[in-house]
Amino acid sequence: MLLIVTINNTIAYSLFIRVVFNYFKEALEEERKQLTIVFSVFFGIVTVVMVVSFTIGNWATIINNVTVRRFLENTFAIVTEFPCIFVILYFHHINYRPAILETLVA
């Protein structure tokens, strides 16, 4: 499932970048940079989650207690969401912050 998400995100990102470079090279330069950062964070998180999900089958030999193992899996799932949420909130802050009064007056 995560592999499918990674492949779909990569295809969507590459199509977006190709369209931006062909038609909106100067007009959407800042948006391209922002989406590159967002995609990189999402791709990194999904890749880490995919690798950990593949290795969870070996956790039974490392951690015998099922309760501790499930707690660690759920904690990992929660922790991996924070970078994605932080990036989204950061770019919302950049894009939707109020305009500076000096810029409007000048």
The pLDDT, as a whole number, for residue 106 is: 54
pTM of the complete model beyond 0.85: no
Q: Please give the average per-residue pLDDT across 21-32, as a whole number.
A: 78
- The domain spans of the chain are 2-105
The pLDDT, as a whole number, for residue 104 is: 56
d(CA 54, CA 34): 30
pLDDT band at residue 10, thresholds of 50, 70 and 90? confident
Q: Please give the average per-residue pLDDT across 16-29, as a whole number.
A: 79
Contact 39, 9 (CB under 8 A): yes
Mapped onto helix, strand or coil, the DSSP state of residue 27 is coil
Question: 35 pLDDT exceeds 60?
Answer: yes
Instruction: Give the residue carrying structure tokens 């950061």.
Output: 90
Q: Give the pLDDT confidence of 54-76 residue by residue, as tens digits.
A: 777 676 677 778 888 888 888 88
Average pLDDT of the chain? Answer: 78
DSSP secondary structure of 44-103: HHHHHHHHHHHHGGGHHHH---HHHHHHHHHHHHHHHHHHHHHHHHHHHHHHHSPPPHHH
The pLDDT, as a whole number, for residue 83 is: 85
